[in-house]
């Protein structure tokens, strides 16, 4: 396998000719919401005719799906690339996952969709994965496989382990705010969302880590000592 030692959890697509149209779609959603955004509105914001968009996308939903893939792939890619380097692959995975969830949760487009049109997300949570989810899971599976090679990640099918982590991240990304205390919570110090980022890191590490006895056996084997 090609080394992905410097590969983030998702790759950021190189800008292309469609980006101006997707940028216009993003502006429209932030202004009026997903359900009220039309191809006519997007075309006006992009300074092109509606037929120009029709030649590329048959309808608004297809265009907006491409926008989601680009937007959230970029967010995760930047977060993964910006995570502190060094350490084992397990440590890198944990840092990248936590940074990605934090970045997604604060992303303006995702926040707008959740606030105004949350039903848009339901198919990707209940029926099928979106392209951005598949991209992240595939990149994460590669990192898991690297972690298995350096001994920091336990044995198991990398794709299964990666998808399980993605499933856990859904809740930390979309529902963490439901577990946050009010500032005047009677128990004393209010529980903030950052506390859940720390718990997500512990969850990912604990789930993926090689059990101590397995790690010791691997070390003995590498040293040529019977385990």
pLDDT tens profile 192-211? 888 899 999 999 999 999 99
Q: 3-state class of 225 per DSSP?
A: coil
Asked if residues 10 and 132 have their Cβ atoms less than 8 Å apart, the reply is yes
- Nearest CA to 154 out of 104, 93, 90, 88 is that of 90
pTM of the complete model: 0.81
Q: Count the Cβ atoms, other than its own, within 10 Å of residue 153.
A: 23
Please report the sign of the dihedral spanned by the C-alpha atoms of residue 77, residue 78, residue 81, residue 84. Answer: negative
**pLDDT for the residue 177:** 86
Q: Is the pLDDT of residue 110 over 90?
A: yes
Domains of the chain: 18-58 (1.10.10.60), 68-223 (1.10.357.10)
Do 172 and 200 meet the contact criterion of CB atoms below 8 Å apart? yes
Distance from CA of residue 166 to its chain's centroid?
A: 8
Q: Tell me the per-residue pLDDT of 31-48, one tens digit each, with 9 for 90 and over.
A: 999 999 999 999 999 999
Between 9 and 162, the more confident residue is 162
pLDDT score recorded for residue 47: 94
């Amino acid at each position: 396998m090609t080394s992905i030692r410097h590969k983030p959890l998702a790759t950021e697509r190189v800008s292309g000719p469609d980006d101006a149209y997707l940028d216009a779609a993003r502006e429209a959603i932030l202004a009026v919401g997903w359900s009220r955004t039309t191809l006519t509105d997007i075309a006006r914001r992009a300074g092109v005719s509606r037929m120009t968009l029709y030649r590329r996308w048959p309808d608004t939903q297809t265009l907006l799906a491409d926008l989601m893939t680009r937007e959230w792939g970029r967010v995760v890619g930047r977060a993964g690339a910006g995570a502190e380097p060094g350490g084992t692959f397990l440590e890198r995975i944990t840092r990248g996952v936590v940074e990605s969830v934090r970045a997604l949760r604060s992303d303006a487009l995702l926040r707008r969709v959740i606030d105004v049109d949350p039903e848009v997300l339901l198919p990707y949570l209940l029926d099928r994965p979106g392209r951005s989810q598949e991209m992240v899971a595939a990149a994460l599976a590669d990192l898991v496989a690297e972690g298995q090679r350096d001994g920091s990640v336990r044995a198991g099918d990398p794709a299964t382990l990666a998808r399980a982590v993605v499933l856990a991240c859904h809740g930390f990304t979309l529902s963490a705010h439901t577990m946050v205390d009010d500032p005047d919570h009677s128990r004393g110090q209010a529980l903030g969302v950052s506390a859940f980022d720390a718990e997500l890191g512990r969850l990912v590490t604990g789930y993926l880590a090689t059990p101590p006895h397995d790690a010791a056996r691997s070390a003995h084997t590498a040293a040529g000592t019977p385990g």
